[in-house]
């Protein structure tokens, strides 16, 4: 198909296709050297389909490019993941629609705006397919890990979380010397066993420990509020 036909078939503008070509997200299958006409085939149509699914899920173009270019990318598995994300998005829209009726009645409908499950799943998708330096580093390290190594790694992390709980119970604040020393210990542990844990990555982990229900529950088994305490300690650590 020529570019105009391809644009009509996919519902995007010719200008958008030019931009996708410019940033390397979707190259034409062939360009006629004499006329400059761009042509697209079935494989380009399939790639555009994947791009549109990710755009529907609000993925940035840069992230989409990283995902589709990753050597780990599995199209079938990714489509299943996209379906799950779209279901989560649909469920949220339905909650918001129902919440309007509640708002009219004067009810508290703030929980309907919770989008943490969708954001968590989307972040996991990007981490799984994204070809980031941290991801590659973890793959290189974890590739040789035995089941026992992974159990030991999890146990080590759990010990650090337990130490945070003890610190909190002792009355120390998140910005105290004891809490800050534990944050440094956590950062060094992740760097040694998983990937280089920069302050930016560390700050993101702190937010995830609270936003992700699975992480929060696992951490708070050492004491309610431990996850929030760790997040606050990390925030104080990264600001210094």
Report the C-alpha gap between 222 and 216 in whole angstroms: 10
> Of 209, 187, 208, 189, which Cα lies nearest the Cα of 199?
187
- Identify whether residues 52 and 18 lie together within a single domain: yes
> Kind and range of the H or E element at 129?
helix 116-129
Q: CA 162, 174, 190: angle at the middle one, nearest 5?
A: 50
The pLDDT assigned to 123 comes to 67
The list of the chain residues with pLDDT below 50 reads 131
- Identify whether residues 121 and 138 lie together within a single domain: no
The pLDDT assigned to 29 comes to 94
- Identify whether residues 125 and 137 lie together within a single domain: no
- The answer to whether residue 69 sits within a structural domain is no
- Identify whether residues 91 and 155 lie together within a single domain: no
Determine contact, residues 126/59, Cβ cutoff 8 Å. Answer: yes
Q: Which two tokens stand for residue 230?
A: 């760790």
- Identify whether residues 173 and 140 lie together within a single domain: yes
The pLDDT assigned to 170 comes to 96
Total structural domains in the chain? 3
- The answer to whether residue 104 sits within a structural domain is yes
- Identify whether residues 149 and 229 lie together within a single domain: yes
Q: Which domain holds residue 83?
A: 75-129
- Identify whether residues 158 and 225 lie together within a single domain: yes
- Identify whether residues 50 and 81 lie together within a single domain: no
- Identify whether residues 51 and 103 lie together within a single domain: no
The pLDDT assigned to 138 comes to 66
- Identify whether residues 159 and 226 lie together within a single domain: yes
């Amino acid at each position: 198909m020529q570019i105009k036909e391809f644009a009509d078939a996919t519902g995007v503008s010719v200008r958008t296709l030019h931009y996708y070509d410019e940033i390397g997200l979707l190259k034409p299958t062939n360009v006629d050297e004499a006329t400059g006409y761009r042509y697209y085939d079935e494989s380009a149509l399939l790639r555009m389909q994947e791009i549109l699914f990710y755009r529907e899920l609000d993925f940035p173009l840069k992230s989409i490019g990283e995902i589709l270019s990753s050597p780990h990318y599995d199209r079938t598995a990714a489509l299943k993941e996209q379906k799950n994300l779209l279901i989560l998005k649909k469920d949220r829209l339905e909650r918001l629609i129902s919440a309007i009726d509640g708002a009219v009645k004067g009810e508290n409908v703030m929980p309907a705006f919770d989008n943490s499950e969708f954001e968590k799943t989307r972040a996991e998708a990007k981490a799984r397919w994204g070809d980031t330096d941290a991801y590659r580093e973890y793959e290189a390290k974890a590739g040789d890990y035995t089941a026992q190594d992974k159990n030991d790694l999890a146990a080590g992390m759990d010990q650090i979380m337990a130490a945070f709980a003890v610190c909190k119970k002792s009355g120390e604040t998140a910005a105290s010397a004891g809490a800050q020393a534990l944050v440094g210990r956590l950062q060094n542990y992740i760097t040694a066993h998983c990937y280089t844990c920069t302050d930016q990555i560390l700050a993101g982990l702190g937010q995830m420990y609270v936003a992700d229900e699975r992480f929060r529950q696992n951490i708070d088994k050492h004491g309610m509020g431990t996850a929030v305490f760790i997040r606050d300690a990390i925030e104080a650590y990264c600001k210094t």
